[in-house]
Structure 1
Amino acid sequence: MRALKLRELYVVNEITKILSGELTFDKSLREVLKILYSYVGVDYSFIAVKEGKGIKIRSFFGYIPRKLVSFKKGEGVTGRVFKSGTPVVIPSVKRSGIFANKTGIGKYLTDKHHLVAVPVKVGGEIEGVLVTFKEFENTESVEKFLETLSVIGNLLGMFFKLHEKMEEERKEWEEERKLLTRELQEKYTLHGIIGRSKAVRRLIELVEKVAKSDSTVLLLGESGTGKSLIARTIHYESPRKEKPFVTVNCAAIPENLLEAELFGYEKGAFTGAYAPKKGKFELANGGTIFLDEIGDMPLSLQAKILRVLQDREIERLGSEKTIKVDVRIIAATNKDLKKLVEEGKFREDLYYRLNVIPIYVPPLRERKEDIPLLIQHFLKEFNEKYGKEVYLTKEAMERLLEYDYPGNVRELSNIIEQLVILNEGKVDTTDLPEYLRKEKNKPKGDLQRFIEETEKKRIIEALEKTGYVKSRAAKLLGYTLRQLDYRIKKYGIEVKKF
């Protein structure tokens, strides 16, 4: 009896290991049934799981079912156990009149097979049923087997509940991921590029075309112009949008760490490498990697970047094994790469590999007609963020229009955030930072005139683009035909006829 008891404890222990391991839900159930076969001689078995108001077979062993059968509450032996929560033992089940054989398992049974079924429950809640078919030797105790099976049923119940909770958390996480993806798509879609200037419209048209391809892109432009926004926009408008977007600032990471950051490393590759780690290229697999400030990348690493572009494979530090990666590369720089090539500070072959599709992101001084739109956008964003209702006077707006913004859009954003934080309600010129309050040598701008000149310019461009077909130009501008006619007369625009 002691040997039998030890065997039962061993079985329960093995099943506990399975249920607390890292297998999937269905694989775990399958392994439990295999243990019952291997250690206690259960020839045929299945586990049915609650589904709606009934119960459905989820895993089976020892036979090939006609289909994954469902049972209503009280239907057959399985349904009765599910309804009552009470174990059932049927000796010589094949000769029993109460065995409906809905599963088709009857053809595999002998006259010696007992059916032993126990509820899978946690607390008072029944989550499923474990059904077994076993031939008992003379020395075996049906009661002891039933007792062991009941313990296993309780273990399965806790496993079911844990799985249910994890599934709920996974669904919540998935929903959060979808919401985040949606927010990112809304933030970084083409509509997130704010501006109506000719330079921005040209940029948007180019980004739309580039996003559909898988080519390498090189973003050129001054600091603060929004190159990272353009990179994200390309990614989220591309077929890779569901995959990772990984950013690496080549200027912010020390040279001795950048290689490990990009390509990863194996355990023991250097002092402190206690475990293997994936690099940014592996993490971006299937998606896009954005190499910001590529002009600051050390020459020693440029050859390895070139290899990724050519062969689409990498090697971790401390490993000779190559790893294939499917990654789109977008690089950005505020430096003159051609000049760096001439000075021997940037590889010529890498420059031409990166420069497949160059995109110039214009500075703010080249798109000044977009400044009012950007100011309104940032005012709205920071007012919402800080719970304020800050607005600019006409004079303050004019002073902001006069400024050249060496820090570009990032600088404008910082200025507006500062104004919102430090002020309540109206912001006048006296509330602006000191360097913006200083009088300019050039005459003070006229905001109304500036807006009208900008609008007139946009209307003329739209008319030229549409061959002076007013209905098409109105649609392009977002006006009604009547609104366009009013503005054509107001600004004295000549409508050419062909």
Structure 2
Amino acid sequence: MANVKPHPESSPPGESLQEQEALLVRECIRLMGRSLEPDRVIREMLHLLSELLGLNRGRVVMPEPEGGMLAIRHAYGLTRAEIERGRYALGEGVTGRVMSTGETVIVQDIDSEPAYLGRAVSRASLPAETVSFIALPLEVEGRVAGVLGVHRLRNRPRPLASDMAILRTIATLISQVLQVNRLVAERTARLEDENRRLRQALAQSHNTPAMHGIVGRSPLLARALRQLEQVAGSDASVLLLGESGTGKELFAQALHRMSGRAARPFIKVNCAAIPDTLFEAELFGHEKGAFTGAVQARQGRFEQADGGTLFLDEIGDLPLNLQVKLLRVLQEHVIERVGGRREIAVDVRIVAATHHDLQQLVAAGRFRADLFYRLNVIPIQLPALRERAEDIKHLVRHFLDQLNLAHRRKVALLPEAMASLVAYPWPGNIRQLYNVLERVVLLAEAERIDDAAVEYALVTEAQGQPVEVLTRSLAKPQAAPARSAAGSASAIRDWRPVAATEGGEIQAALQAANGNKSRAAQALGLTLRQLNYRISKLNLG
């Protein structure tokens, strides 16, 4: 045996086939999410094949940059000498044949197959029993970019069909890693001037909170932006993950603008907003007479986005029957209109987004695993607003500038008002922050906004939230600052939900103050806005 310790060639007894395969795929996807470095990612994938499934001595063979000879580029379980011996001409041996034909080869017994050369791993280094060799093509953009090869004991509990299925999945994932890195490398070499401008923009980002239209300086946001820039030059599918309201569409638009497709269309499809019966026609278009009301042919979103980017928002809500057709488009780059018989070639980059856990949907049978692997080439996690609280001030100033301009106002926030916004947990994320600020600007009676006005806007914005969320978020642990021109301390009470029993107390205070709301509010320990809000809620007006 060689001085490596391969995994036993049979599966551990009692461990289910499904558990092994699920763990393998899950770990491979996690690797791809952590790094785009092929040396590390592909070697670890081959490691997992060996450790979890007993498919040993995995190697990826690819053409050398000069000369065209095939050489082992990535491997697990092979010695350095074995890797150096693994060189083949195109068409030579099993590996060379797969590279030239693009067809998978299964050698059931390496001892009886003349085409199996045994050049890298000698027969003496392998088990004495019957050993098989499996070689699969690695396809990138319709051409064979390399070969994945593994050894397998012929007599083992796991059926060959199961091993082939998982090997095809791993081959697809490896191909995606190779594709991303090749395209990024080509763009880097071809567009050196553009990259220099990008580096200058990155340097300037330390001095300005906005970049590519995305506002903020937090480390989590910066990491997501770096990932976005790293893959912008490729055509690989990108999956944007995060809670609702975190800015997934803005990220998709930024990715489009940074890509080589920026001059072409950016088309958005909200998968959660289209009825199931209209989905196919919406995505793929329809021919005249395809169904009742189809009085003329119509392009679908794929054709509209040809040459550009198609943003599939809330992809987790895509119906299962459409998932099959979307997968075909991703694989073959052709569509068929509803009612049509001809294939239409499309060149579209897919950017998908979801707030769902797609792996859970796959486990529940609500999302196809093969489509998930296709979309999950580059997953980018967008942080929730509560995870980047240091960005709230930048966002507030940015939105106030926009809203003041749009509504012809000159509203500014006092420091205590800004502190209230920063302290709020923002379950609705950036979208909710924008809505609250718009309400503040529109309802403002003065140019300087205090914390009471912000509190009122938060309460009216969040009426649908559980009371305990509002209580925890808006309660003020410290006494309110001094108020009024006279400088007397104000006994403003902590925020609390409106209770029906307050009606009598409010009416009595108004009567005692002869209808003067300001004096009634002061007597009740409320701001004028808080009092007006309660009068409105309790129908006391």
- Per the normalisation by structure 2, the TM-score is 0.46
Amino acid in the other structure paired with 2:456: E
Equivalence for 1:434: 456
Partner of 1:269, secondary structure, is coil
Q: Which of 387, 407, 412 is equivalent to 1:366? A: 387
Confirm whether residue 240 of structure 1 aligns to residue 261 of structure 2: yes
Q: What is the 5 A alignment of 1:340-489?
A: 340-423=361-444, 424-434=446-456, 436=458, 440=474, 443=477
Deviations 1:73-99 (CA, angstroms, capped at 9, x unpaired): xxxxxxxxxxxxxxxxxxxxxxxxxxx
Q: 1:212 Cα deviation (Å)?
A: 1.2
Confirm whether residue 225 of structure 1 aligns to residue 246 of structure 2: yes
Q: 1:434 Cα deviation (Å)?
A: 3.5
Confirm whether residue 335 of structure 1 aligns to residue 360 of structure 2: no
Partner of 2:215, secondary structure, is coil
Deviations 1:425-479 (CA, angstroms, capped at 9, x unpaired): 0111221243747675674699xxxxxxxxxxxxxxxxxxxxxxxxxxxxxxxxx
Q: Which of 316, 329, 335 is equivalent to 1:314? A: 335
2-structure distance, mates of 1:295, 1:321: 29
Partner of 2:246, secondary structure, is coil
Equivalence for 1:278: 299
Instruction: Call closer, same or farther: CA 1:391–1:265 in 2, change over 3 Å.
Output: same
Equivalence for 1:304: 325
Q: 1:393 Cα deviation (Å)?
A: 1.0
Q: Which runs of 5+ in 1 are unaligned?
A: 1-188, 447-498
Equivalence for 1:205: 226
Q: Which runs of 5+ in 2 are unaligned?
A: 1-209, 460-470, 481-541
Amino acid in the other structure paired with 1:287: G
Partner of 2:311, secondary structure, is strand
Q: 1:190 Cα deviation (Å)?
A: 3.6
**Are the counterparts in 2 of residues 399 and 436 from structure 1 also a CA contact under 8 Å?**
no
Amino acid in the other structure paired with 1:391: A
206-215 or 352-361, which moves further after superposition? 206-215
Equivalence for 1:195: 216
Partner of 1:332, secondary structure, is strand
Q: What is the 5 A alignment of 1:117-156?
A: none
Instruction: Call closer, same or farther: CA 1:444–1:304 in 2, change over 3 Å.
Output: farther
Equivalence for 1:269: 290
Q: What is the 5 A alignment of 1:60-99?
A: none
Deviations 1:468-497 (CA, angstroms, capped at 9, x unpaired): xxxxxxxxxxxxxxxxxxxxxxxxxxxxxx
2-structure distance, mates of 1:322, 1:217: 25
Partner of 1:330, secondary structure, is strand
Q: 1:229 Cα deviation (Å)?
A: 0.1
Deviations 1:143-200 (CA, angstroms, capped at 9, x unpaired): xxxxxxxxxxxxxxxxxxxxxxxxxxxxxxxxxxxxxxxxxxxxxx943111011011
2-structure distance, mates of 1:331, 1:375: 28
- Per the normalisation by structure 1, the TM-score is 0.50
2-structure distance, mates of 1:257, 1:417: 34
**Are the counterparts in 2 of residues 221 and 363 from structure 1 also a CA contact under 8 Å?**
yes
Amino acid in the other structure paired with 1:279: G
Amino acid in the other structure paired with 2:389: K
Larger radius of gyration: 1
Partner of 1:409, secondary structure, is helix
Q: 1:305 Cα deviation (Å)?
A: 0.5
Partner of 1:331, secondary structure, is strand
Q: Which of 294, 303, 316 is equivalent to 2:315? A: 294
1-structure distance, mates of 2:409, 2:309: 37
**Are the counterparts in 2 of residues 399 and 445 from structure 1 also a CA contact under 8 Å?**
no
Partner of 2:221, secondary structure, is helix
**Are the counterparts in 2 of residues 402 and 445 from structure 1 also a CA contact under 8 Å?**
no
Amino acid in the other structure paired with 1:195: G
**Are the counterparts in 1 of residues 266 and 309 from structure 2 also a CA contact under 8 Å?**
yes
Instruction: Call closer, same or farther: CA 1:445–1:240 in 2, change over 3 Å.
Output: farther
**Are the counterparts in 2 of residues 364 and 409 from structure 1 also a CA contact under 8 Å?**
yes
Q: 1:207 Cα deviation (Å)?
A: 1.1
Confirm whether residue 257 of structure 1 aligns to residue 273 of structure 2: no
2-structure distance, mates of 1:396, 1:433: 8
1-structure distance, mates of 2:334, 2:455: 50
Q: CA RMSD in A?
A: 1.9
1-structure distance, mates of 2:424, 2:479: 11
1-structure distance, mates of 2:324, 2:478: 52
**Are the counterparts in 2 of residues 392 and 426 from structure 1 also a CA contact under 8 Å?**
yes
1-structure distance, mates of 2:288, 2:213: 42
Equivalence for 2:195: none
